[in-house]
Amino acid sequence: MDPLHPSKTFSVDESISLTLNKTSLKITMPGPKTIDFHSILNAYIAQDGLTITYLDRESPSLNSTAPINALHYPITAGQKEQVTLWTENLLSHAYGQAQRSKRLKVLVNPFCASALTKLRKFAAPIFGAAHCEIDVEETRYRGHAGEIAENIALDAYDAIVCCSGDGLPYEVFNGLARRSDAVEALSNMAVAMIPCGSGNAMAWNLYGTDDPSLAALGIVKGVEMPLDLVSITQGTRHSVSFLSQALGVLADCDLKTEHLRWMGDTRFIYGVFATIAKNTKYSCQLAFKPTGGEASKNAEKKISAKPQNYPTSLPLQYGTVLDDVPDDWEIMPRERLASFYTGNMKIVAKDTNFFPDAEPNDGFLDIMMIDDTIGWAASLEAIMKLPQGKCNDLQDVEMRKVSAYRLTPWKPDGDISVDGERYPFEAFQVEVHQGLGRVLSKSADSFQIVG
């Protein structure tokens, strides 16, 4: 057999044959079986023959443990060379551009309900079957994941996997951003997630699921995808965000319903209703960097004039919130703003596709603005249509894309949420770092579309 063109079919005997089709492995035997390539974890030859392991994706993993199955086929000495080539061909189909046998630093948030159990029952068996090397560490306090990322050896692991909600990825990205080699660290260390929280937006966008077994499979088969990150400057603080920034209704829904986590995703809907009922507005001034333009000369001058004690781990194109607003930015007073929500990903929680036009690394953020004049009828319509990705169909919802912005509240109190974390209620400035971050995703260039 030509080693450059290995056979797509391996015949075990007269009754059993294994054939590589376009998207799946077809097994011909009494009761034929088809296994899609994405579900195949490993294939190897040992003394007792060929073994193929795969995840049975039709079995609900949350009812027991990760449903890993194995097929065994005896081979003769005369078949070994052919089967070796066929097995490599199978793995090439199963993994495509994805790296095999990944080295994973796994961080577990023990304060996240059942995170360690989900890792042990649903994710670890899949990592093991795929011959991934895993180094597991439980975080001991708030910010610990960031400290681990800040000090991690970049050449020791292929990805940092967070068993948590979206809070741990936030910490990890910020830990990488605090390093002296922040650009190199963020550009090379992939971040992934086993969903164990209430929102799990990262898992929904990268793997299209909040099932921990399927997310683990997504990591095993994941390819590196560049992800836009954003710098946030507030006072003398410099942090990064990977998911969202919010003020008003949606920030209140997130931060003021922590005590309702037992409700799951329903707590966000409850929060929307409760906040709208208060008819609260958040007067502020917004300033946007128009899309398609270059940084102004004023912005460049202000960068060199930043205070010396300002903690900047990443280069800032437009200066900080302490600088003057660049000359070429659009300034927009909003006296009746009820909700301001900025998304870096399509999906913000299960079945909630707020930003259908978001792309992983286009260099832009999607902004949603709603005034308190919306009224109850339009509010109810928004609650129904926004999660379905129909934001552009709503007359009272304003959408725009920006590469940078500044928000300055005029009220003395309120809530600002960044990736679900509470920030002080004061002016902050945001700018996009196009494609700076790395994640492990089911696709190399797009978010997953659910529903």
Residues 188-210: tens digit of each pLDDT:
999 999 999 888 999 999 999 99
If one counts the domains in the chain, the total is 3
Q: What Å distances lie between residue 89 and 84, 361, 362, CA to CA? A: 9, 32, 35
* Active site (annotated) includes residue 36: no
254 and 366 within one domain = yes
More confident residue, 221 or 60: 221
266 and 324 within one domain = yes
Lowest average pLDDT, out of 90-99, 109-118, 226-235, 403-412, goes to 109-118
HEC-encoded secondary structure of the chain: CCCCCCCCEEECCCCCEEEECCCEEEEECCCCEEEEHHHEEEEEEECCEEEEEEECCCCCHHHCCCCEEEEEECCCHHHHHHHHHHHHHHHHHHHCCCCCCCEEEEEECCCCCCHHHHHHHHHHHHHHHCCCEEEEEECCCCCHHHHHHHHCCCCCCCEEEEEECCHHHHHHHHHHHCCCCHHHHHHHCEEEEEECCCCCHHHHHHHCCCCHHHHHHHHHCCEEEEEEEEEEEECCEEEEECCEEEEEHHHHHHHCCHHHHHHCCHHHHHHHHHHHHHCCCCCEEEEEECCCCCCCHHHHHHHHCCCCCCCCCCCCCCCCCCCCCCCCCEEEEECCEEEEEEECCCCCECCECCCCCCCCCCCCEEEEEEEHHHHHHHHHHHHHHHHHCCHHHCCCCEEEEECEEEEEECCCCCCEEECCEEECCCCEEEEEEEEEEEEEECCCCCCCCCC
**pLDDT value of residue 275:** 52
CATH number (domain holding residue 150): 3.40.50.10330
Domain of residue 35: give its range.
9-95
Per-residue pLDDT reduced to its tens digit, 16-73: 899 999 999 999 977 788 999 999 999 999 888 999 999 987 765 545 677 899 999 9
143 and 27 within one domain = no
Classify residue 378: in a domain, yes or no: yes
pLDDT for residue 6 is more than 70: no
317 and 428 within one domain = yes
Per-residue pLDDT reduced to its tens digit, 290-327: 876 444 333 333 343 344 445 657 999 999 999 999 99
287 and 264 within one domain = yes
212 and 159 within one domain = yes
Question: Which among 158, 166, 228, 252 is annotated as catalytic?
Answer: 166
Classify residue 2: in a domain, yes or no: no
283 and 343 within one domain = yes
**pLDDT value of residue 1:** 47
Half-sphere exposure of 334 (CA within 13 A, CB side): 26
Q: What percent of the chain has pLDDT over 70?
A: 83
**pLDDT value of residue 268:** 53
pLDDT for residue 263 is more than 50: no
35 and 108 within one domain = no
pLDDT band at 251 (very low <50, low <70, confident <90, very high): low
CATH number (domain holding residue 338): 2.60.200.40
Classify residue 341: in a domain, yes or no: yes
272 and 179 within one domain = no
Classify residue 118: in a domain, yes or no: yes
- State which of 221, 244, 269 marks the end of a domain: 221
Residue-averaged pLDDT of the chain: 86
**pLDDT value of residue 199:** 83
306 and 415 within one domain = yes
Lowest average pLDDT, out of 9-23, 220-234, 256-270, goes to 256-270
Per-residue pLDDT reduced to its tens digit, 390-442: 777 777 788 899 999 999 999 888 889 999 899 999 999 999 999 999 999 99
139 and 39 within one domain = no
Angle at 241 between CA 328 and CA 99, to 5 degrees: 120
- State which of 221, 252, 276 marks the end of a domain: 221
298 and 334 within one domain = yes
- State which of 221, 249, 284 marks the end of a domain: 221
Classify residue 38: in a domain, yes or no: yes
**pLDDT value of residue 259:** 44
CATH number (domain holding residue 15): 2.30.29.30
